[in-house]
Amino acid sequence: MTRVAFINPNSTIAMTTSCARSFVAQLPEDYHVEAITNHQAPAAIQGPEDGDAAVPGVLDIIANGNFDAYVIACFDDTGLAEARTITQKPVIGIGQASFHLAALSSGRFSVLTTLAVSVPVIAGNIEAQGFGQICDGVYASGVPVLDLETTPDKSREIISSHLQKMAVENPSNAVVLGCAGMTNIWNKLQPDHQITLIDPVAAAAKLIPILV
């Protein structure tokens, strides 16, 4: 049986549980997933300071783990580069996974994330990972990360209104949903929009059987 660590870099247990449930639903049955919360981190990762604070805990989890693969379930790919230096097992960041899937599905993509403070981090990752020439922008919805857990219906309405505008600007682009918590509203958003919406948690799950 393949063992996968699904690591939530923030310290909100409810988010770990809900996102891991979505992740497991996308995997074959013979995979065992352990959902792990980083208790050394802020409640939500919103911007570079929160990300920096979360990295030590993420690395501790990986350094002390015994898994066939690790998934870093923050769209900022918190600690991803550092994590790959301390294990020979596959380490997948949901951000990078979603960029690959968007490139393959539509050729070009845009990103809709949570708060504006997260935009520079995500834009920097897109450039560093080689997707800059096919990304047409990173946009903020104004929805805080934890609102995706506590007020999902209201969050979905706000995000949907942004998606409508993005579809007008770039109708052939995929739109990557730029937060792990958006995995829980993807199935309600996609039927309302003709553009392809990429769920980053599902994107990581699709890569696991290929890389392990």
pLDDT digits (tens, 9 = 90+) for 128-154: 999 999 999 999 999 999 999 999 999
pLDDT at 212 over 90: no
Question: Predicted confidence band at 18 (pLDDT cuts at 50, 70, 90)?
Answer: very high
In sequence order, the β-bridge partners of residue 135 are: 109
Same domain, 88 and 176: no
Average pLDDT over residues 86-113: 97
Same domain, 27 and 108: no
Same domain, 196 and 103: yes
Region of 199 (left: φ > 0; alpha: ψ -120 to 50; beta: rest) is beta
Same domain, 196 and 101: yes
- Give the residue numbers spanning the domain of 15: 2-93+203-211
pLDDT at 195 over 90: yes
Same domain, 60 and 99: no
Q: What percent of the chain has pLDDT over 70?
A: 100
CB atoms < 10 A from the CB of 174, how many? 22
Greatest CA span in the chain, whole angstroms?
Answer: 47
Same domain, 11 and 104: no
Same domain, 25 and 114: no
Six token digits for residue 113: 């994330």
Instruction: Say which CATH number the domain at 25 has.
Output: 3.40.50.12500
In total, how many domains does the chain have?
2
Question: Predicted confidence band at 22 (pLDDT cuts at 50, 70, 90)?
Answer: very high
